[in-house]
């Protein structure tokens, strides 16, 4: 049995950085990874998918250049083998960078294998037992496969496998109308495939306010993507040309060449032997943690997607920051201090922070609301991209910004004006007197705040 000061299980966006910090503090650390360093972000999430999004946008810009005076003689073709290779190169560069970083790091032993608890301070991996007084879980999540009629009888894709396609689907059926599914839907439509999105609920991106969900659907439909909601009787069967997808409710069956299942994520906690350590999970399998990321078992913490407190690279990294600050820097950082922000990377993107209007109203507090269509944003008009709108919600009494959304050109960047103000706890009247740069999307933030009215 080998002993360490700390064991980190999983090398996503929290574990490796925490291992490096602890090693720098003189601790002897084991970093155990089942497959690849970098986790979902590097290997099957942000980096490859946003690289694919960039390729899809390049194709879209080329096809739509006429109104800008850019004339392309002949059709625009997409070489999917080059698209795939480019995404793989971005992933491998990042993964190799992590391998090189840890290869030269003193005090960290990287072990590839499947770790399982033997007890609360001991894990086994590759037939060897390792022990440490501190164990950190950063095991991430995987695509959820729903129990739909006939689904397991067909050859379906997930967000992990679709990034390896090197041929263009004739017709891609996307099962699930949330963030991952919508990004792939628009991406493959721009590559040239016919695309249908099938969502069992009444709205796309259901965690968003209805006006945002409706605007997202309009953006996708404008590019020729078929959208079906309230599809709660979807079924599948093999056909001569791929898969027959039955939606029901009077909607004609779809003959899809490929089916992408994008119906959520499941934490990778079911095969870790958590019961042997006594670590508690909720009914969905997420590890239960307190405000400082500690589990119910002393000496064990859970970071990243597996704890259910954010399914994003930046929230996972913030979990590392919280753990490192508390355990190594003598601080007292808490999950409850985090203001959640995220983006949906369709084009134009959605940037979001804090409460939705729905949540703000449900809180019972008096609220102020302001919206502005992107058609009244100079930058959007100059670029000829006026879809979407800006929205902000504030507390009428405290003058604090409760939440904001920018669905529109550069919304994923402009939203940071609100993110920074909310984290600084800056009352919104202060921002009304800022002098932003023209012409930008962010320059409309003071104007938007100036239009706040009781909602």
Catalytic residue among 114, 258, 309, 438: 438
Distance of CA 132 to the CA centre of its chain: 32
Residue 232, number of CB atoms within 10 A of its CB:
12
Does 439 sit behind a cis peptide bond, omega within 30 degrees of 0 on the bond before it? yes
pLDDT-derived band of residue 455, with 50, 70 and 90 as boundaries?
confident
Whether the pLDDT of residue 240 is over 90: the answer is no
Per-residue pLDDT band at 250 (split at 50, 70, 90): confident
pTM confidence score: 0.96
Tokens for 187, please give them.
């991406």
| Confidence band for 96, pLDDT divided at 50, 70 and 90 | very high
Task: Report the pLDDT averaged over residues 375-392.
Answer: 97
Range 338-366 average pLDDT: 97
Q: What is the DSSP string of 100-162?
A: HHHHT-TTEEEEES--EEEETTEEEETTEEEE-SEEEE---EEE-----TTGGGS--B-TTTG
Q: What local confidence, expressed as pLDDT, does residue 327 receive?
A: 97
pLDDT at 248 over 90: no
Average pLDDT of the segment spanning 342-370: 98
Is residue 428 pLDDT above 90, yes or no?
yes
List the domains of the chain with CATH numbers: 2-142+266-337 (3.50.50.60), 151-263 (3.50.50.60), 341-454 (3.30.390.30)
The answer to whether the peptide bond before residue 348 is cis (omega within 30 degrees of 0) is yes
DSSP calls for 305-338? GGGTS--SHHHHHHHHHHHHHHHHS-----GGG-
Is 416 assigned a catalytic role? no
Give the model's pLDDT for residue 249: 80
- Strand pairing class (258-261; 171-175): parallel
| Cα 228 to Cα 218: distance, rounded to the nearest angstrom | 12
What is the Cα–Cα distance from 22 to 328, expressed in whole angstroms? 8
CA end-to-end span of the chain, whole Å? 63
What percentage of the chain carries pLDDT values higher than 70? 100
* Sheet hosting strand 242-246, strand order edge to edge: 235-239, 242-246, 254-256
Q: Single out the residue of 280, 277, 416, 272 nearest to residue 354, CA to CA.
A: 416
Tokens 């997409």 belong to residue: 78
What average pLDDT does this structure show over 1-11? 97
pLDDT of residue 169: 97
Return all residues near 216 (Cβ < 8 A) that are at least 6 apart: 182, 204, 205, 208, 344, 346, 350, 407
pLDDT of 30 strictly over 90: yes
CA atoms of 56 and 79, how far apart (whole Å)? 11
């Amino acid at each position: 049995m080998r002993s360490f000061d700390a064991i980190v299980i999983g090398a996503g966006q929290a574990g490796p950085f925490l291992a490096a910090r602890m090693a720098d503090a003189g601790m002897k650390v084991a970093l155990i990874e089942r497959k690849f360093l970098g986790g979902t972000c590097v290997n099957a999430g942000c980096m490859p998918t946003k690289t694919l999004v960039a390729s899809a946008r390049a194709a879209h810009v080329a096809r739509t250049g006429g109104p800008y005076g850019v004339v392309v003689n002949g059709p625009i073709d997409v070489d999917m083998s080059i698209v795939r290779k480019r995404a793989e190169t971005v992933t491998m560069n990042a993964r190799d960078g992590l391998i090189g970083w840890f290869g030269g790091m003193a005090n960290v032993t990287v072990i590839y294998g499947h770790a399982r608890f033997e007890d609360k301070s001991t894990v086994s991996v590759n037939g060897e037992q390792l022990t440490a007084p501190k164990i950190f879980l950063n095991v991430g999540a995987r695509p959820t496969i729903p129990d739909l009629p006939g689904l397991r009888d067909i050859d379906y894709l997930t967000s992990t496998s679709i990034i390896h396609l090197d041929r263009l689907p004739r017709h891609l059926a996307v099962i699930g109308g949330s963030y991952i599914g919508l990004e792939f839907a628009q991406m493959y439509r721009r590559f040239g495939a016919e695309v249908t999105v099938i969502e069992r609920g009444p709205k796309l991106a259901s965690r968003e306010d209805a006006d945002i969900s409706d605007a997202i659907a309009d953006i996708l439909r404008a590019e020729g993507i078929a959208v079906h909601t309230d599809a709660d009787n979807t079924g599948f069967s093999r056909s001569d040309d791929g898969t027959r997808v039955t939606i029901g409710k009077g909607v004609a069956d779809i003959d899809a060449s490929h089916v992408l299942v994008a119906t959520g994520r499941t934490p990778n906690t079911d095969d870790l032997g958590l019961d042997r350590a006594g670590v508690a999970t909720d009914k969905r399998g997420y590890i239960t943690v307190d405000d400082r990321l500690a589990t119910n078992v002393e000496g064990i913490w859970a970071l990243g997607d597996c704890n259910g407190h954010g399914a994003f690279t930046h929230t996972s990294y913030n979990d590392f920051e919280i753990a490192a600050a508390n355990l190594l820097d003598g601080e007292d950082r808490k999950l409850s201090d985090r203001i959640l922000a995220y983006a949906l990377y369709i084009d134009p993107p959605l940037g979001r922070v804090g409460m939705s209007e729905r949540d703000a109203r449900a809180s019972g507090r008096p609220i102020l609301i302001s919206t502005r269509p992107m058609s009244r944003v100079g930058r959007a008009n100059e670029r000829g991209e006026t879809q979407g709108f800006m929205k902000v919600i504030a507390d009428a009494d405290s003058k604090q910004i409760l939440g904001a959304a920018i669905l529109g050109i550069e919304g994923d960047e402009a939203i940071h004006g609100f993110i920074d103000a909310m984290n600084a706890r800056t009352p919104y009247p202060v921002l009304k007197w800022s002098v932003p740069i023209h012409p930008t999307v962010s320059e409309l933030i003071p104007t938007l705040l100036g239009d706040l009215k009781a909602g």
